[in-house]
Chains A and B, each alone.
Chain A
Amino acid sequence: MKLTKILAAATLVSGLATAAVAEDPTKVGFVYVGPIGDGGWTYQHDQGRLAVEAAYGDKVETVYQENVPEGADAERVLTQMALSGADIIFTTSFGYMDPTNNVAAKFPDVKFEHATGYKREHDNVSTYDARFYEGRAILGTIAGHMTQSNKIGYIASFPIPEVIQGINSSFLHAQKVNPDVEMVVIWAYTWFDPAKEADAAKAMIEQGVDVILQHTDSTAPLAEAAKTPGVIGFGQASDMAEYKPSPRVASIIDEWSPYYVKRVGEVMDGTWENGHSWGGMAEGEVVIGEITAPVPADVKAEAEAMVAAITSGEYHPFTGPIFKQDGSVFLAEGEVATDLQLVQMDFYVQGITAEIPQ
């Protein structure tokens, strides 16, 4: 029997089943790129899954799969999850973009939500992402005020637009409050290698960096910062509260719960529609964790005011005048970056001396 026939039959049967037994719980699937125990990216997505369970109780059933490689295995995992009767599947890593769309073509009645991507080739595929650069603006502001050496560091993973947005946003806002500030970037060329992250933090500290921002998910840089008095850092992805009040003086938290709860709810009441969601502070998807005591009250107040301004939509972190590294104009006075400009960002802003790896 042909696969397409089987799939068609399966879809038909599941469609009938849903109609017949309305009490059937909505089945929600999650595909994770790492282990839940990574304490960062995947952990936060799983917190979102738990929030869905908490919100809907018996009316939902959630399933998940950890450690799914982005290569050849993703499509199989997705297909099997769809075959098992999932109503909506969240695929939580960029590398699942093509597999998500491929599988969605075969299961028109299953909803697919792909995180951080841009392809929506079918009506049952949505994409979603969070405006992490909004949070980076706050951290950059704090960093600019707090640095004594005027050197702030950024541990980056790979040279892709999202990471470059983060570097630019933090640097712009640090520079705004401290024109002498310098940005030191180290590319770890990995998403996850705690030992390497620790070494990167150490290298920065040895070269006079006293505020560390990170785009990799382990607490290793904070632990390294804790060894040198006067060096501070920020929680990344999760709050990393165990390093409060110092060296962790604030944190940028990926909060997927509101989005997951909302979208699953829409599937349940039949109002789900495909589209792209890029939520930020306003939607509660990017959260700044508690700003702790080493940060002076006026700086804290300034940071909180910026959170309020971004949340209300009054302020956009990429508002002109902003110049590219080569001196050309990126945004004119008062101009606000479009989402397209942001997602394609492949340059540093003026003032960063390093070069993006080509």
Chain B
Amino acid sequence: MIRLEKRPSPSRAWTIATPLVAVALTMVAGSILFMILGKDPFAAIKTIFYDPLFHPDFAAFSRPQLLVKAGPLILIAIGLSMGFKAGIWNIGAEGQYIIGALAGAAVGLALYPAESFLIYPAMVIAGALGGWAWAMIPAILRTKFRTNEILVSLLLVYVAENILASAAVGWLRNPEGGGFPGSRNLSKWASSANPELISGTGMHWGVVAAFIAVILAYVVMSRHLLGFQIQLAGQAPRAARFAGVNPSRLVVLCLGISGMLAGMAGLFEVTGPAGQISIDFNSGYGFTAIIVAFLGRLNPIGILLAGLLMALTYIGGELAQFMLGLPAAAIQAFQGMLLFFLLGVDVLSNYRIRIGTGKAA
């Protein structure tokens, strides 16, 4: 008889070891999947996990790309994690990401072609405000009308996608683009560009912002009263109320922070790696970030590592596709497996496995 016994506090050793165990298990399971598909499993695993970091032809390019890919995921996930800890469910970061990008790009494009170092900060602020405003819709509906924020934030993603499409073919369209959809390229206009700050590192303003967010979140969650209130509200809502935590204020604050960070992530992407507003500018970062947040156990440092790991599987997965001819679907399934193992093996850090004839659990 196998049963689980809750540890009084999470095991430190296992907390560090479980991700490694999970990756190892994924490699085994993934090998089986790749073998079924008729591919060399060793080559596939090596291409996904090793080549982006160490391949002689790619690594110099791919390694910094890890930061580029992970940056927005981490930035969004940090914001989401605070709300999730407090039991506030913002599922619509994707929408806030889109609106942030649109608001920031609109401010920038309104000033085109002026040259000023003030334009970019103004765009970042506009992006943050855009994301914040979009998140305030579920926040206000929840606090004023008790409307469930899961539904509102999720459905607003689709509304945002429609606004994005109409912007790309309409009001933000490049006037010199001959009627084709898409805005001007923001990354090619010095005032609005979000370039690589130190050549060869992948570091752009969005990555910097992500690192700052990690540090700030760490401080807030472990040292600040707000962090305490968030923890309390999530674990014991009634106790939180007695302790003087105002639930409405917490909702507005948590949704606001996550919306703001998602909006900023959108702005950094649209001015940097993506370069322009286009019909399909968003590519699911807002949803992937939810996974990253939980994979990092809602802990800022964990989120940082989880974001980098997810980025690695994306980039390695891309390499595996065209180097080995693996279908994109196989990579998707493989990522799903990795997540399952990471989440499942986590049980070891919180529980002890007892084998024997104990009382049935």
Q: Does A80 make an interface contact (CB < 8 A)?
A: yes
B:172-231 near A, CB below 8 Å: 178-182, 185, 188, 199-200
Q: Among the listed A83, A118, A189, which residue makes an inter-chain contact with B61, where contact means beta carbons less than 8 Å apart?
A: A83
When the two chains form their complex, are residues A73 and B166 in contact, meaning their CB atoms are under 8 A apart? no
29 A-B pairs with CB atoms under 8 Å apart are: A2-B200, A3-B61, A3-B200, A4-B199, A6-B61, A35-B327, A35-B329, A36-B327, A64-B322, A66-B328, A69-B283, A70-B283, A71-B269, A72-B272, A73-B273, A76-B318, A80-B58, A80-B62, A81-B322, A98-B185, A99-B275, A158-B165, A160-B181, A161-B178, A161-B180, A189-B165, A343-B179, A344-B178, A357-B169
Which residue of chain A is the closest to B58 with respect to CB atoms? A83
Q: Among the listed B60, B64, B283, which residue makes an inter-chain contact with A71, where contact means beta carbons less than 8 Å apart?
A: B283
Q: Does A95 make an interface contact (CB < 8 A)?
A: yes
A346-B179 CB under 8 A given contacts A1-B200, A35-B328, A79-B61? yes
CA distance A7 to B57 in the complex (A): 9
Q: Which residues of A contact B323 (CB under 8 A)?
A: 63, 84
CA distance A73 to B314 in the complex (A): 10
Q: Which residues of B contact A102 (CB under 8 A)?
A: 275
Query: Other CB < 8 Å A-B pairs besides A10-B57, A95-B279, 6 of them?
Result: A29-B322, A72-B274, A118-B178, A118-B180, A158-B165, A344-B179
Q: Does A358 make an interface contact (CB < 8 A)?
A: yes
When the two chains form their complex, are residues A73 and B181 in contact, meaning their CB atoms are under 8 A apart? no
Task: Give the Cβ gap from A124 to chain B, nearest Cβ, in Å.
Answer: 19
A63-B325 CB under 8 A given contacts A118-B180, A158-B169? yes
Q: Which residues of A contact B272 (CB under 8 A)?
A: 72
Q: Which residues of A contact B248 (CB under 8 A)?
A: none
When the two chains form their complex, are residues A71 and B315 in contact, meaning their CB atoms are under 8 A apart? no
Q: Does B350 make an interface contact (CB < 8 A)?
A: no
Q: Does A239 make an interface contact (CB < 8 A)?
A: no
CA distance A77 to B72 in the complex (A): 18
Q: Which residues of B contact A197 (CB under 8 A)?
A: none
Q: Does A345 make an interface contact (CB < 8 A)?
A: yes
Q: Which residues of B contact A75 (CB under 8 A)?
A: 273
Q: Mark A320-346, 1 if CB is under 8 A from B, else 0.
A: 000000000000000000000001111
Which residue of chain A is the closest to B170 with respect to CB atoms? A358
Q: Which residues of B contact A29 (CB under 8 A)?
A: 322
Q: Does A94 make an interface contact (CB < 8 A)?
A: yes
Which 9 A-B pairs rank lowest in CB-CB distance, beginning with the nearest? A72-B273, A69-B283, A66-B328, A63-B322, A71-B274, A72-B274, A67-B328, A6-B60, A344-B179
Q: How many interface residues does A have (CB within 8 Å)?
A: 48
A:3-50 near B, CB below 8 Å: 3-4, 6-7, 10, 29, 35-36
Task: Give the Cβ gap from B66 to chain A, nearest Cβ, in Å.
Answer: 10
Q: Which residues of A contact B62 (CB under 8 A)?
A: 80
Q: Does A148 make an interface contact (CB < 8 A)?
A: no
Q: Which residues of A contact B199 (CB under 8 A)?
A: 2-4
When the two chains form their complex, are residues B321 and A66 in contact, meaning their CB atoms are under 8 A apart? yes
Q: Does A350 make an interface contact (CB < 8 A)?
A: no
A:82-138 near B, CB below 8 Å: 83-85, 94-95, 97-99, 102, 117-118
Q: Which residues of B contact A65 (CB under 8 A)?
A: 318, 321-322, 328
Task: Give the Cβ gap from B159 to chain A, nearest Cβ, in Å.
Answer: 12
Q: Does B319 make an interface contact (CB < 8 A)?
A: yes
A95-B327 CB under 8 A given contacts A2-B199, A344-B178? no
Q: Mark B222-266, 1 if CB is under 8 A from A, else 0.
A: 000000000000000000000000000000000000000000000
CA distance A72 to B64 in the complex (A): 14
CA distance A118 to B57 in the complex (A): 31
CA distance A189 to B179 in the complex (A): 17
When the two chains form their complex, are residues A158 and B279 in contact, meaning their CB atoms are under 8 A apart? yes
Task: Give the Cβ gap from B357 to chain A, nearest Cβ, in Å.
Answer: 51
Q: Does A279 make an interface contact (CB < 8 A)?
A: no
Q: Which residues of A contact B60 (CB under 8 A)?
A: 1, 3, 6
When the two chains form their complex, are residues B166 and A98 in contact, meaning their CB atoms are under 8 A apart? no
Q: Which residues of B contact A67 (CB under 8 A)?
A: 328
Task: Give the Cβ gap from A188 to chain B, nearest Cβ, in Å.
Answer: 11
When the two chains form their complex, are residues A94 and B178 in contact, meaning their CB atoms are under 8 A apart? no
Task: Give the Cβ gap from B209 to chain A, nearest Cβ, in Å.
Answer: 15
A:241-272 near B, CB below 8 Å: none
Task: Give the Cβ gap from B186 to chain A, nearest Cβ, in Å.
Answer: 10
CA distance A358 to B165 in the complex (A): 11
Q: Does A159 make an interface contact (CB < 8 A)?
A: yes
When the two chains form their complex, are residues B181 and A158 in contact, meaning their CB atoms are under 8 A apart? yes
When the two chains form their complex, are residues A95 and B180 in contact, meaning their CB atoms are under 8 A apart? no
Q: Which residues of B contact A72 (CB under 8 A)?
A: 68-69, 72, 269, 272-274, 283
CA distance A76 to B319 in the complex (A): 10
Task: Give the Cβ gap from A10 to chain B, nearest Cβ, in Å.
Answer: 7
Task: Give the Cβ gap from B94 to chain A, nearest Cβ, in Å.
Answer: 12
CA distance A81 to B325 in the complex (A): 12
Q: Which residues of B contact A358 (CB under 8 A)?
A: 170
Q: Does B276 make an interface contact (CB < 8 A)?
A: yes
Q: Does B282 make an interface contact (CB < 8 A)?
A: yes
Which residue of chain B is the closest to A13 with respect to CB atoms? B57
Q: Mark B276-309, 1 if CB is under 8 A from A, else 0.
A: 1011111110000000000000000000000000
When the two chains form their complex, are residues B278 and A70 in contact, meaning their CB atoms are under 8 A apart? yes
CA distance A76 to B274 in the complex (A): 10
When the two chains form their complex, are residues A160 and B322 in contact, meaning their CB atoms are under 8 A apart? no
Q: Which residues of A contact B58 (CB under 8 A)?
A: 80, 83-84
Task: Give the Cβ gap from A252 to chain B, nearest Cβ, in Å.
Answer: 22
Task: Give the Cβ gap from B212 to chain A, nearest Cβ, in Å.
Answer: 20
CA distance A358 to B173 in the complex (A): 11
Q: Which residues of B contact A344 (CB under 8 A)?
A: 178-179
When the two chains form their complex, are residues A95 and B162 in contact, meaning their CB atoms are under 8 A apart? no
When the two chains form their complex, are residues B318 and A94 in contact, meaning their CB atoms are under 8 A apart? no
Which residue of chain A is the closest to B51 with respect to CB atoms? A80
Q: Does B26 make an interface contact (CB < 8 A)?
A: no
Q: Which residues of B contact A345 (CB under 8 A)?
A: 179
